[in-house]
């Protein structure tokens, strides 16, 4: 497993999450957060373990947490001089998401664009260009191994331009283990459109294509995407694909108070 990308810290966290893949799959309360170690049930995973992760890594992901428990989590983190940055959860079941997204997934692309094959080598130049495009769009990319599906069930969708550049991308994978009530839920994200190609509807198309694949290839029962409260364009995009705000759930990343927001 390889293909780490980004800052020294980002690459170290990617490596940690990959090395711990078997632990994550076999530990109640753990989940694969992609860029970091993560959990979907802090009580089952254990605060001692969460504390160790934050102390070692400076970050820990929280996925699909009951919104009623957020203040308790914030209080626990505050005692460790940490905070929780959160994202809203947009969620849909298979039938709803496919019905809404397929009309966009089947739209013909403008003449200068076409679907590109997903890189199969996590350390290839193709993969590096994909990760660089994500980073240029303000995202913290996953490792090449995550993006190729070498770490677990995953799909990465690319649209290329006439010169072979990555114009748009999206990724979906299955983060939750067999102990989780969200075992069948796919995470969708890393939706990015390179600056020269924006304003052409590619974001909605690539998101719809990713949604189609997580249900048809990964056999997910649901999909969720995470959007910050201020990101109006992304909220409209995921809503057009059938996802709706789920106020009973939230996702977040714990970091020391002195750190900046880990990703947008």
pLDDT of res. 73: 95
Residue 60's CATH number:
3.40.630.30
Establish if 96 belongs to a structural domain: yes
DSSP states of the chain: -----SSHHHHHHHHHHHHTHHHHHHSTTEEE-SSSEEES-HHHH-HHHHHHHHHHHS-EEEEEEEGGGHHHHHHHHHTTTEEEEEEEEEEEEHHHHHHHHHHHHTSPPPTT-EEEPPPSSTTSHHHHHHHHHHHHTT--PPPHHHHHTSSSSEEEEEEE-TTS-EEEEEEEE--B-TTSTTTTEEEEEEEEE-GGGTTSSHHHHHHHHHHHHHHHTS--SEEEEEE-TT-HHHHHHHHHTT-EEEEEEEEEEEEETTSPPS--
Tally of domains in the chain: 1
Establish if 262 belongs to a structural domain: no
Establish if 1 belongs to a structural domain: no
Establish if 196 belongs to a structural domain: yes
pLDDT of res. 9: 85
Domain extent at residue 151: 8-256
pLDDT of res. 260: 61
Establish if 128 belongs to a structural domain: yes
pLDDT of res. 263: 61
pLDDT of res. 262: 59
User: Greatest CA span in the chain, whole angstroms?
Assistant: 56
- Kindly report, residue by residue over 126-152, the tens digit of the pLDDT: 999 999 999 999 898 899 999 999 988
Establish if 242 belongs to a structural domain: yes
Establish if 190 belongs to a structural domain: yes
Establish if 113 belongs to a structural domain: yes
pLDDT < 70 regions, the chain = 1, 260-264
Half-sphere exposure of 221 (CA within 13 A, CB side): 6
């Amino acid at each position: 497993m390889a293909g780490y990308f980004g800052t020294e810290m980002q690459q170290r966290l990617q490596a940690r999450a990959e090395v711990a893949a078997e632990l994550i799959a076999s530990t109640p309360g753990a989940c694969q957060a992609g860029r970091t170690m993560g959990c979907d049930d802090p009580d089952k995973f254990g605060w001692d373990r969460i504390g160790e992760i934050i102390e070692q890594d400076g970050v820990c992901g929280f996925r699909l947490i009951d919104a009623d428990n957020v203040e308790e989590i914030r209080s626990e983190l505050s005692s460790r001089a940490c905070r929780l940055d959160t994202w809203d959860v947009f969620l849909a079941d298979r039938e709803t998401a496919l019905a809404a997204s397929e009309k966009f997934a089947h739209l013909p692309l403008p003449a200068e664009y076409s679907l590109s094959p997903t890189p199969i080598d996590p350390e290839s130049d193709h993969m590096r260009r994909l990760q660089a495009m994500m980073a240029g769009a303000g995202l913290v990319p996953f490792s090449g191994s995550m993006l190729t599906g070498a770490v677990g069930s995953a799909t990465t969708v690319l649209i290329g331009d006439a010169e072979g550049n990555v114009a748009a991308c999206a990724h979906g994978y299955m983060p939750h283990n067999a102990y989780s009530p969200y075992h069948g839920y796919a995470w969708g994200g890393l939706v990015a459109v390179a600056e020269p190609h924006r304003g052409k509807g590619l974001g909605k198309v690539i998101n719809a294509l990713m949604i189609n694949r997580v249900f048809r290839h990964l056999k997910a029962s649901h999909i969720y995407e995470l959007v910050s409260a201020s990101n109006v364009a992304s909220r409209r995009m995921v809503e057009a694909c059938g996802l709706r705000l789920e106020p009973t759930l939230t996702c977040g990343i714990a970091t020391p108070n002195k750190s900046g927001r880990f990703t947008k």
